[in-house]
Structure 1
Amino acid sequence: MARQWKDYCEFEPIFQRIERMRVLILDNLIACASDLSDKARREPNFDAEAWVAEERKIAGFAIGNITQNINNLIMKPHWLVARLNELTDARVADFDPDAIIISGTLRDFDLYHPDLIARLESFLRRTTIPTLGICGGHQIMGQAFGARVVTLDGLAPWEKRSERMREYQYYLISVLRPQDPLFAGILNERGRRLPKNTLRVWQNHGLMLERVPPGFSLLAKSELTRNQIMVKRGDGQLLYGVQFHLEKSFEDWRKLPSPWEHRNESRDGRRMFENFLIEALRHRGKADLVKEAATLPLSPVVSARDAQPAYALAASGQRLNGYGNGPAKAPAPPSLTPSEVGGSEPAEEYIADRLTGL
């Protein structure tokens, strides 16, 4: 008889181990019509207004999921959202982040204005700030260091814009280097219900990196996508790229009928997100901001019912010249407007269907 395994873990309280941290979130989606390339304008279905509206709607959910993790995992978080067309060395230096998180994308990189892509790639090659690239952010990170972005069947993106093979919904990935700090406290411990060195993660992509770029190490792979997680530790850099959506952790958890269950994917994603933040602080010489288990409170500080939905957190920051400052504890926001979250109401099924490039 085949061995049976469950897709959930026993209840696990969440403690905020990180005392304080500054995180720059790079909104990697199209922000305005001038962000689009001449090639985009020649596409048969081109509609600048509709494309930008769709990108901003997706951005509201993508950034909301990221800020939800930050607000729930850090005791005193300070985060800032910058759009891709706002990225400059001066703005990064002015905020002085301990970590950078790059969101996913919707459209192919050749549909972006080439100056935006060139600027981001140059920044990634030079930065010594610990950086996490998620899905499309993972792909642009690899491209910056010489890896090609291709469809899952190996074609250039412009050769097959639609009807692509995709990894969509939950897939198993195989961890190749379980000793990496990104997996601390996750793999092969008591109570875990998945096969050894395996993660179950949310996938939603039709593109991938053709190879692991020079200077990076491969940490995990899947059946369809060889490069699921990579890391660069060298030249003063700490760069992680993940092809899947670890940031969906709290969103997934809130959908469960009981807060006493953690599905593996929500627990694992949340822990990897936290492990990256901890590694970033260590890289920055701020390990003293991370609490050890012996110093944690006896009762948890976060529960599924406390975690705010992504669209609420997306609107909780104050907007100022394209930036959003996150409060230490995000309050319940007022009624949301399209300019705050890219849509007046959350449309989760629409979002799940359209995040093909993330």
Structure 2
Amino acid sequence: MRIAIVNLNLDPRETAGCDGIASALAALRPNVELATLPFVELRAGATSLAHIDGWVLGPQGTPFGAYDPGFVPWLAAWLRATVVPVIGICGGMQAAALALGGRLQAVDGSAAVVGATYGDRPKVSGLVAIAPLPLALPDWLRPHWRVPANPAACAQSHREQVAALPAELVCIGKSVPTPVEAWAHRDRPWFGVQFHPERDWQCGGEAGRAWLETWLAVVQADVPGEAGRP
């Protein structure tokens, strides 16, 4: 099974977020093949990666308002051309929602950030209880769902959040500070999480593992010989 992590940072040298995701995926599936690439390479068609079984859209440290105007249309086209499962984590979840027609806002409900930095905008951080919404799950996701029904803490770190989802996405998780903690596509094997399921497993955030296990189960279901493999 081969998974590619897309680094959405404007500076491709900023890899800490993607590195953390890679470490978590490797811990859950020691035999997985992992690759990380900057989105600029993917956008330019400069990557030689092939036979990818799943894509991760990683976090980013710069407001999307600072990206060039072509970024969102490119990501929308790339997503729609992708035929394998996708998960967006933190900024990756926001980027995919934007690309599909959603809208962002600051976590205090004010307008989305338009500058190059978040400045002194409020931040949601630490461990926050995520309430899954299993009744909202699309049919394709139900057989792979691994998330317990009760709210459980996961690591958070964001200054913006999804204010409105496009019609093709449905909210499948929420918290007190963040109304859309997770979404899934109604028909395609994509979902996104605002929180960081890869972080703080030893410090109270171990519930994030179940969200990653769910996505890995989705990926494995489409890979010959991988379904049900630990």
Q: TM-score range by the shorter chain?
A: 0.7 to 0.9
- TM-score normalised by structure 1 residue count: 0.57
Task: Tell me how far 1:274 sits from its aligned partner.
Answer: 2.0
> 1:333 maps to what in 2?
none
In the alignment, what sits opposite 2:114?
Answer: 158
Describe the superposition over 1:126-146 as per-residue Cα deviations: whole angstroms up to 9, x where unpaired: 322210000100001110111
Partner of 1:187: 148
Which residue is equivalent to 1:74? 29
Unaligned runs of 5+ in 1: 1-20, 33-55, 189-196, 257-262, 297-358
Distance 1:128 1:90 in 2: 17
Q: Say if 1:169 and 1:183 are closer, same or farther in 2 by CA, change over 3 A.
A: farther
What percent of counterpart residues are identical?
22
Instruction: Report how many residues are paired.
Output: 223
Could you tell me how far apart the structure 2 residues matched to 1:75 and 1:162 are?
A: 39
Contact preservation (8 Å) 1:154, 1:210: no
Relative to structure 1, the CA distance from residue 89 to residue 30 in structure 2 (aligned partners, 3 Å threshold; closer, same or farther) is closer
Q: Which amino acid aligns with 2:26?
A: N
SS in 1 for 2:198: helix
CA pair 111-239 structure 1, distance change in 2 beyond 3 A: same
- For 1:331, the equivalent position in structure 2 comes to none
- Within the candidate set 26, 39, 64, 1:109 is matched to 64
Alignment counterpart, residue 289 of structure 1, candidates 219, 226, 229: 226
Matches within 5 A, 1:156-235: 156-158=112-114, 161-177=118-134, 180=142, 183-184=145-146, 186-187=147-148, 197-234=150-187
Higher RCO (CA < 8 A, seq sep 6+): 1
Match of 1:52 in 2: none
Structure 2 Cα separation of the partners of residues 28 and 182 of structure 1: 27
Distance 1:67 1:244 in 2: 16
Structure 2: segments with no counterpart, 5+ residues: none
Q: Which has the higher helix share?
A: 1
Deviations 1:142-185 (A, max 9, x none): 1011111111213131289432222111111221216745641x
What are the equivalent positions in structure 2 for 1:132-151 lying under 5 Å apart? 132-151=87-106
Structure 2 length normalisation: TM-score? 0.86
**Structure whose alpha-carbon radius of gyration is higher:** 1
Letter in 2 for 1:149: L
Aligned CA distance change for structure 1 residues 247 and 25 (closer, same or farther; 3 Å): same
Alignment root-mean-square deviation, CA: 2.5
Query: What's 1:277 paired with?
Result: 216
- Matched to 2:60, the amino acid is T
